Amino acid sequence: MGLFKDFDGWWIIALFFLFVIFSDTIEDIEICDWIPFLVLILILCACNEFDCC
């Protein structure tokens, strides 16, 4: 019952790292830019919790 047991959402982590790598500087990253990633992580965690995925 771990958080990453049978985790099929590895692509969201890859997208997150690509987002960080291709941003110009760390100061350019704003909370509004993080919202889509946070929403996707929330959906993935909710689906794992309720077995809907």
Q: Please compute, for residue 13, the number of CA atoms within 13 A of its CA located in the half-sphere on the CB side.
A: 5
Domain of residue 44, residue span = 10-50
Evaluate whether residue 33 is within a structural domain.
Answer: yes
- State whether residue 29 is helix, strand or coil: coil
Distances (CA, A) of 1 to 6, 7, 11, 14, 48: 10, 11, 21, 23, 10
| Global pTM exceeds 0.75 | no
Q: Is the confidence at residue 3, as pLDDT, over 60?
A: no
Report the pLDDT value the prediction gives residue 1, as an integer from 0 to 100. Answer: 43
Whether 2 is covered by a domain: the verdict is no
Q: For residue 41, what are its two tokens?
A: 């992580």
Number of domains in the chain: 1
Residue 49 pLDDT level (bands cut at 50, 70, 90) = low
pLDDT in tens, 23-47: 666 666 677 777 887 787 777 777 6
